[in-house]
Structure formats: structure tokens, C-alpha cells
Structure 1
Amino acid sequence: MELDQLRHFVSVARTQNFTQAANQCGMSQSTISRSVGRLEEELGQPVFDRQTRKVVLTDAGRILLPRAETILSLVDDLKREIQDDGETGRIRIGAIPTIAPYYLPKVLSRFNEQFPEATLVVQEDTTSVLLKQLADGAIDVAVLARPIDSRHLEIESLFEEELDLVMAADHPLQKKKNITISDLEGIPFVLLSEAHCLTGNVRSFCEQRAVCPLTIEKTSQLASVQELVSLNHGISLIPRMARQRDHDKSRAYRTLTDPKPTRVIAMAWNPYRFQSRLIETFKQHLRDFKADDAIS
């Protein structure tokens, strides 16, 4: 049983597709298929049930997957520990979509200036997916928004960020000198889907103040929320870092009068995985990097 066979098996298991696994591994589909086939020959039984549109694990595959992931994680950690010089290596960074395009560019750029030999790989996904990837060792550190429900990961708050009200430039609320949360009662909201933690932040803030946001539309991207707001489909609450990057005159932003809605940005990592000196330096870089530095 070879390590490459296990890597190919795990990739197919995670993607449930030989073609996607081949692209992920940078190989042809036939190469991946042969590798998994040799593994199945050695085990004496199939690890996948090959269906029309996807492949699913057999009983043998379900037994093999967690063990294969553990073996590969141990090997990867061993290599990284032996090769750890504090300046070279790869850091796999996860971030949620409402943070990645706004906060990370300058963070990564400045880190690369200090450590030009380091390779930074970014994975953008929802909180639940990133937490699983941290647990599996697929990423090294993630930048998320609290609350974060995970018992086995280390969570450290970085900074608090305000959420700003966004509306169409000609919205009636624009006439008000001060806007409070109660002024939003009964006005349609455009929000991200429930998979995004920002929606939970918005709902929690409103409900704690006895305001029930009337959600009429949901989308999967923050840019789509902003565009729908421009078209007068509703209003929304947007992270300050996204507001700072938005110069479209069809939208207007306002700061709510106290209490102000906020979210807490945090980083998370798996303490049971090897943390190279380079990763530790990157985590300190995140601690030192202020929110204003990223969005200015």
C-alpha cells in the first residue's frame, strides 16, 4: 500500500468524483483510477461504489478513510517538522467569504514581503466547511467570525468590526439624521444564505433588540447583496471592511445609532496538528495586523 494510493483515495472520497480528484491532484483521471484500482486489488475489495454522477464509499472505504487521513496527516506533519526552518514552507489559510476578499489581500501581501520564500495558499469557504478542514488537517489556520462552535480547536479573537447599514442611495431612511435599529422594523432585508455566519450575526443583533428582520431575498455572495440593495430590493447590514471597498454611488451606507451591530473576527487552528515556526509567525502577524490596516 503506497502513500500516493492513499492520497488519491482520500481525494476521490472528499470530492466524490474521479475527475475533480484528478484536477485536485494535478493528474489525469486515468492515473487516479489506476491508482485506486491497485489499492482495491491489494485490499481485495472495492472502496468505492461507482455510480452515474458520483462515487460513494463502500463499507471498506468508510473503514479506510479515517485511517488513511491519519496516516497522511502524520507523514505530512513529519516532513514539515523536519524541514521547518521558520522562513520557508507552505501555510494553508482558510477564510469565510465575507472576510477573504476584503481582509486577506494586504495581510498576505505584507507577510510575503517579510517571508518571500513562504507559500501562502487560501481556501475560501463557509465556517462549517473550514472547521472540518481544520479538524482534518487540510488547512493550518482559519480566519472566521464568532460565534464558532468547536470543542477541539483553539479560537482566538483578533478584533471587533462594526456592521454598517446599506441601502439604495434614494432610500427614505437617507432622510433621517440618526437611524436606530427600531427604524428597520418592517423594512425588507437582503441577506446571505443561512450557511454564512454573517446572517446569524445580523439576526442575533436584531432579535436581541426585539426587531425581526423581514427577509425577502437571500443570496450566496456579499456582492450580490449589495447589487440587490442598489435595485431597492431591500436593505442590509454589511461588514465595515466590505463598505470600505465599495465606491458605487447607487448605494449609501450609514452607521446605526447605539447600540451598534458588530461581529468579532477570530482565528482558529488545530492544536493537535504540528504548528511550524512559520505558521506561528503568521498567527502573530494576524494578531498584530489591525483591521484598519487591511481596509485602509
Structure 2
Amino acid sequence: MRFPTVFIDGDQGTTGLQIHDRLRGRTDLRLVTLPPDERKDAARRAQAINECDVAILCLPDAAAREAVGFIRNSDVRVIDASSAHRTQPGWVYGLPELAEGQARDIARARRVTNPGCYPTGAIALLRPLVEARLLPRDYPVTIHAISGYSGGGRSAIDEFESNEAAVAAPFKVYGLALEHKHTPEIQLHAGLAHRPFFVPAYGAYRQGIVLTVPIELRLLAPGVDGERLHACLAAHYAGARYVEVMPLADARAMAHLDPQALNGTNDLRLSVFANAERGQVLLSAVFDNLGKGASGAAVQNLDLMLAH
């Protein structure tokens, strides 16, 4: 029996290592990696890509585009974990829970672009509400998110884990030029008419994300409140294996959100916190930036593609 071959191009980066760990020991596929002296050899990489069934690209954007350009074998399927193709036509967005039929589209696709970590939480919260017309497409969306420092890749990990001054800083807001590369991805796949205001940050812990979106009920249609927003999310994700919408009663009992609560999993937990008296709602997403936000999502997409 022939097992499908999976080649990870860039398996020494943060995401690549995590994917490798998740696939190691699988008996339903053959995992292909290159020895250290061949990892930067363009000809050897091109050969490996064209000889595999599925190539998973864990590379900087330019290198990911280069890798796609290597492909001559039309049977090769690709999962790109970089941000190079997330807003490009011809690529299927790799968030299976995005909409009805999305998992089917991923399963059939030749080219899948893995979502970014922050966009996974933001889009999961916003897209169902926009599609249900509970949140206007032109709503002035603001997103605040805190990630573990591993979200910055190897350079951020080295900085936080080897630099005493960096570790001493418990919280770093970045993206102050308001040009974060995830913003167009969020706008497109959430269905927003305008660019959202996105404020990312790193905390002095390794992995895990808390992402929040504040909603002013006075800007929504009459009768739209926290309960209706919650009901929409709960209905959209009913039966989703990896997405949980926390019951409103449980959310009311919460005093804080822990970004590390789902570390090591591919789970995504969505919550709605409502204050009817003040006319305000806070949407939140908690997940592992290395799980559902990266390697876990890639493996989920791979499993869909291999099953087709």
C-alpha cells in the first residue's frame, strides 16, 4: 500500500518544527524532510516538492512564493503556512469553520493558504456576525490581541529567552505604523467593508493568544444585543470539532481570560461578554498561536486534503 508523502519545506522554523512533531509517528503518511546541508539548496528543494503529494511551506513569504514557482508536477498539492497567498485569488483559505462548504473546498483544493494566527480568532468572531447582518460590513472594527512571544518566530523566541531586558518587559505593543500584514487578511475574510483597527502585542510568555473585539450596541440595528450575537456564533459553530462557543452563563462567571488556557491543542474558544446596561459587548477568542493559529491548523487542513 502506498502512503501519501508530505514534504515540509522549512521544517526548522517554529511552525515547521511544530508540524513535524504533530506528524511524527503517523502511520498513514510518509514524512519527508531534507538533511541540514540540503535545506537551502534550491534544486534539492524543488526536487522534493515535485516528488511529494502534499508540500507544506513553512517559509518567509518570498521563499514561499519561490517554492510555489518550483512546482512542475500538477499533482502536487500545497499548504502554505506563510502569509504570501492569504489574499490571493486561486488559493483556498484554510479555515475549515469559515463557512458552510469551506472544509469541502479545502479537501478538494490544490492550493490552500493557512490562516494567520491573529486572523484565525478575529475572523472566527466576525465573519458569522457579518454574514448574518448582525454586524454591519462598515462597522468600525477594533481588534486587540496579545500573543505569546513565539508568534514572532525564532528571532522573537531568541530575544525573549536570551535577553534579560526583553524578558523583564512583560508586555510589548507593536505594529504602531498600523500596517500589520494580517490586517488585509482579516478585512477580506471577515467580509468587512473597511480596514479594521488592529493592535497586536506580545506578552512575556511563550505561546497562547487572547484576542478581543469591542462592540457598541448603539451602532447596531435595534434589537441586536449580546444574546443575539452569542446565538449567532453558537449556531454557526454547532458541531464544530475544534471551535467552542462558551455559554453566556459561563462567560458571566468569568473574571479573566487566560491566553495559555488552550496551549497544546487545536481548539478555539469564543466568548461573548455583554453589559446590557452600558450597551457594550466584548467578543473574545482564546487559542494557541502555535496550534489553531499555525501548526494545528495546517495539520487539520492536511487531514482534510488526505481524506479526499
TM-score (norm 1): 0.30
Q: Which protein has the larger Cα radius of gyration, Structure 1 or Structure 2?
A: 1
More helix by share: 1
Highest RCO, 1 vs 2 (Cα 8 Å, sep ≥ 6):
1
